[in-house]
Amino acid sequence: MPFGALTFVLHGVIAMASLVAAAFPHAKVLENAPPGINYKIPKGTHPWTSTKFTRPSQNIQKIHGFTGTKNTNARSVAAVLGAHQRQVGGFGYENVTAANAFGTQYGTEVLWNGFRTLLLLDTGSSDTWAVPQSFVCIDYSGQIVPQVACQFGDPYPGDFSTTDLVTPDQHMYIQYGDGEVVTGPMGFSDITLGNMTIKKQETCLANTTYWFGNNQTSGLMGLAFPSLTNAYLGLGEDHDPTNQVQYSPLFTSMVNQGKVPPLFSIAIDRNSSGGMIAWGGMPPTTGLDMSQMATMDMIITNLIDQPITAYQYSFYTIIPDGWHYGQKSAYEKYPYIVDSGTTLCYLPPDLADAISAAFQPQAIYLWMYGGYFTSCDAIAPIVAVVLNGIRFFINTVDLIYRDMVDPLTGLCMTAIASGGTGPYILGDVFMQNALVVFDVGEAKMRFVPREFY
């Protein structure tokens, strides 16, 4: 039966990711995975039968870009994976916070129990949370500091009532790769996005945070799979993995409540001012050549210290054909995570070095940032990632961040970074040059170029 015809029903916390994974009982394990991580490549494919995909979505929201002054991209997939790899003896992404110090984030407005709230949009995590008025802001040492130090926008005006709590002793706890911490009780909230309301969505009101905000957003909307949720039984200090509780995150609940078909799509504007997210279909973008659509299998990313990810999807992971840069090509096959919460593209070190050398003048690696810098008026090479035989070019204007200047050297950061031992990441600099479709129902990622050279 085509996957798009499956009916998604929750029994307890059975999630659509389980249904997707069940379609691939046999899978090839990718060799040469980084420490603590394996990948499974599905052997089977499913015909694309969804007729709703080609239609404009009836539920479209604007997304807004925010350029911060520090640590605005610290909760990216790269930071989370960096913390994971260091726990299992690997390395990579150590300087992701510095490398993205002035990166762009994207957020969208929701109604949280009727209160208008601006949330960061993150396809690389799964929990949805906001800060209440009573939240406590702490510094890196755990000392309480004024709320303004966490740089949130307007907080949610209240707390969970006793009847709204999931259980009296269930909480969310996340510690990101740069040390940021978000924790608080889990409860049920009605979340309205555009013209639909998701009833009794499990969310967190974060009563304690160590956070670097942008003074506009008040929390985060995670759009990844249930296997990456961070709910735990017990009091706020108890985060034992044996007490972890998987639950249905926001997009999973949208599907299970029959609000939308199991897909969403994102179109980020190239000028970083914002874009659109379309739930259950396509945004009304113009100038797209649908014959150039690239369709890729989603890959199961198995985090060895999180057993559930061995058979359920976690990140939105694909394996590109390769890369073109200047007059050269590289066709080694590596997994990449598509992540709206990461500004840069994180590549294998040798490839990152080679592309950086193709800038004129060539970009140099600055260890204190973990990134590559070149002259702010440098000539960037033509760079493209190849997906299902189609070249997706990254506009040369986007390859140099002219507002991200190292004060000591006067050099500007490039959009290419080293991903260490992997996995690697296609971040916003890629996404703003393509329409990206997260087709969970078919276990596919679909991409349409938005610009051509």
As a whole number of angstroms, the distance between CA 130 and CA 216 comes to 12
Return the amino acid letter for 414: T
| Least reliable range by pLDDT among 210-214, 338-342, 387-391, 402-406 | 338-342
Contact 364, 352 (CB under 8 A): no
Task: Pick the most confident of 234-238, 288-292, 398-402.
Answer: 398-402
For residue 68, tell me if it sits in a domain: yes
Tell me: the pLDDT tens digits for 59-70? 777 877 766 544
Q: Give residue 430's pLDDT band: very low, low, confident or very high (50, 70, 90).
A: very high
Residue 46, pLDDT score: 41
Percentage of the chain lying above the pLDDT 90 cut: 38
pLDDT at 301 over 50: yes
Contact 104, 66 (CB under 8 A): yes
Locate 325 and state its tokens: 């840069």
Contact 347, 81 (CB under 8 A): no
Helix (H) or strand (E) holding 108, with range, is: strand 104-112
Percentage of the chain lying above the pLDDT 70 cut: 72
Residue 163, pLDDT score: 83
Contact 52, 261 (CB under 8 A): yes
For residue 399, tell me if it sits in a domain: no
Number of other residues whose CB lies within 10 A of the CB of residue 97 = 27
Q: Give residue 85's pLDDT band: very low, low, confident or very high (50, 70, 90).
A: very low
More confident residue, 137 or 6: 137
| Least reliable range by pLDDT among 157-161, 265-269, 306-310 | 306-310
pLDDT at 407 over 60: yes
Contact 77, 315 (CB under 8 A): yes
Alpha helices in 205-348 (DSSP H): 250-256
Residue 427, pLDDT score: 87
For residue 168, tell me if it sits in a domain: yes
Residue 14, pLDDT score: 34
Residue 286, pLDDT score: 60
Residue 83, pLDDT score: 44
* 360 DSSP β-pair partners: 379
Residue 196, pLDDT score: 93
pLDDT at 137 over 60: yes
Task: Tell me how many domains the chain contains.
Answer: 1
Tell me: the pLDDT tens digits for 8-42? 222 333 334 443 443 344 445 454 555 455 555 55
As a whole number of angstroms, the distance between CA 139 and CA 103 comes to 22
Domain boundaries, position 227 = 63-268
| Least reliable range by pLDDT among 14-28, 122-136, 191-205, 404-418 | 14-28
List residues with catalytic annotation.
Answer: 122, 339
Using DSSP, state whether 9 is helix, strand or coil. coil
Locate 34 and state its tokens: 């980084």
Number of residues written out for the chain: 453
As a whole number of angstroms, the distance between CA 434 and CA 268 comes to 8
For residue 92, tell me if it sits in a domain: yes
pLDDT at 170 over 80: yes
Number of other residues whose CB lies within 10 A of the CB of residue 352 = 24
More confident residue, 241 or 407: 407
Mean pLDDT, residues 119-146: 91
Task: Pick the most confident of 67-71, 83-87, 246-250, 357-361.
Answer: 357-361
For residue 121, tell me if it sits in a domain: yes
For residue 392, tell me if it sits in a domain: no
Q: Give residue 92's pLDDT band: very low, low, confident or very high (50, 70, 90).
A: very low
pTM of the model: 0.82
Beta-strand pair 412-414/371-374: antiparallel
Return the amino acid letter for 47: P
Contact 137, 149 (CB under 8 A): yes
Number of other residues whose CB lies within 10 A of the CB of residue 58 = 14
Alpha helices in 294-404 (DSSP H): 349-357
As a whole number of angstroms, the distance between CA 206 and CA 181 comes to 10
Number of other residues whose CB lies within 10 A of the CB of residue 322 = 16
CA angle 391, 395, 397 (to 5 degrees): 165
Mean pLDDT, residues 257-266: 90
Residue 294, pLDDT score: 94
As a whole number of angstroms, the distance between CA 168 and CA 165 comes to 6
As a whole number of angstroms, the distance between CA 352 and CA 93 comes to 13
Exposure letters 59-88 (e unless 16+ CB within 10 A, then b): bbbebbbbbbeebbbbbbbbbbbbbbbbee
Mean pLDDT, residues 181-201: 93
CATH number at residue 218: 2.40.70.10
For residue 190, tell me if it sits in a domain: yes
Contact 169, 235 (CB under 8 A): yes
Residue 70, pLDDT score: 41
As a whole number of angstroms, the distance between CA 296 and CA 439 comes to 10
For residue 307, tell me if it sits in a domain: no
